């Protein structure tokens, strides 16, 4: 019962009362829709500009960077800004709550494990809300513009991201990238958000945010299964690139990092000095 009261407090104060961040996210989503529409509006390809294309534009990321090929490094700006935005939205609330009203709740409940667990559940809910808003905006945009509500990825969408389909893999169709565009990005962001919150127990929230962003940038530069950001980029999937990362590995990596952040955070927070933190 105490846990659910804490979670209710976090959902109310960490989501409903922090609507400005999600308002900014909605404006950003609309900008992405308009930007992608103007890039693809003259394309005559069937299903170009579908719901899947819009998702691919956001979470496609970039193809594997190979310095030996002397190709320019094309920074995945849309992908990076989208993820950075959610990491920033979920950055300060746990710290501010601990310094304010949440400290009183923690002292009264005398259960640090439940307090930390409620914060972890809030972080996951905050990320899921972000993704639900994104999916809703993209869906509404497709409905208004009468674009197909399918997950097919057109060749034009590949071209916009500088990764024209072809070679050994060809054009990836509907059933093959749905998990890479919807499940994996959400799981990856939840895992990194929990890890960011865990790091905030040792360093200032701003530094944990810089660390998380650094992981994203490193993932864009290095195509490796050890860099978790690769699993949130559809173009790095083994279904698109022969040297890509498998879906199952990404799910296991995200779940393992989430479990570590929650469990290790509980152990650390049990001895965390909450009275002398500013």
pLDDT digits (tens, 9 = 90+) for 19-60: 899 999 999 999 999 999 999 887 767 677 889 999 999 999
Phi and psi angles of residue 245, each rounded to the nearest 5 degrees, phi first = -100, 140
More confident residue, 192 or 50: 192
What is the per-residue pLDDT for 87?
Answer: 96
Banded model confidence at residue 139, pLDDT cuts 50, 70, 90? very high
Contacts of 122 (CB under 8 A, 6+ apart): 7, 10, 11, 14, 15, 93, 94
Place of tokens 């914060």: 119
Q: Over 80: is that where the pLDDT of 153 sits?
A: yes
What is the per-residue pLDDT for 19?
Answer: 85
* pLDDT tens-digit series, residues 83-109: 999 999 999 988 887 776 656 666 666
More confident residue, 169 or 262: 262
* Short-list 126, 127, 128, 150, CA closest to 138: 150
* pLDDT tens-digit series, residues 211-245: 999 999 999 988 888 999 999 999 999 988 888 89
Banded model confidence at residue 168, pLDDT cuts 50, 70, 90? very low
More confident residue, 124 or 166: 124
What is the per-residue pLDDT for 246?
Answer: 94
Query: How far, in Å, CA of 159 to CA of 106, rounded?
Result: 52
- The structure tokens listed for 224 are 């490796």
What is the per-residue pLDDT for 148?
Answer: 87
């Amino acid at each position: 019962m105490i846990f659910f009261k804490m979670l209710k407090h976090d959902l109310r104060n960490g989501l409903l009362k922090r609507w400005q961040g999600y308002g900014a996210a909605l404006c950003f989503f609309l900008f992405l829709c308009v930007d992608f529409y103007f890039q693809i509006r003259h394309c005559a390809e069937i299903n170009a500009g579908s719901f899947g294309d819009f998702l691919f534009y956001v979470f496609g990321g970039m193809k594997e960077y190979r310095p030996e090929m002397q190709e320019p490094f094309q920074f995945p700006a849309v992908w990076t800004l989208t993820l950075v935005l959610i990491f920033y939205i979920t950055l300060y609330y746990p710290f501010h709550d601990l310094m304010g009203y949440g400290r009183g709740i923690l002292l009264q409940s005398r259960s640090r494990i439940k307090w930390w667990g409620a914060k972890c559940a809030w972080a996951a809910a905050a990320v899921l809300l972000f993704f639900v808003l994104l999916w809703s905006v993209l869906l509404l945009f497709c409905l208004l513009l009468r674009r197909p509500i399918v997950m097919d990825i057109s060749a034009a969408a590949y071209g916009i991201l500088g990764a024209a389909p072809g070679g050994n893999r060809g054009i990836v169709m509907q059933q093959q990238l749905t998990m890479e565009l919807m499940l994996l990005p959400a799981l990856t962001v939840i895992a990194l958000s929990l890890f960011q919150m865990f790091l905030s127990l040792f360093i200032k929230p701003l530094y944990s945010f810089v660390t998380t962003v650094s992981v994203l940038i490193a993932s864009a530069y290095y195509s490796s299964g050890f860099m978790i950001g690769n699993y949130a980029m559809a173009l790095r999937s083994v279904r698109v690139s022969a040297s890509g990362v498998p879906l199952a590995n990404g799910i296991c990596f995200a779940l393992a990092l989430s479990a570590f952040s929650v469990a290790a955070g509980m152990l650390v927070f049990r001895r965390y000095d909450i009275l002398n933190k500013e």
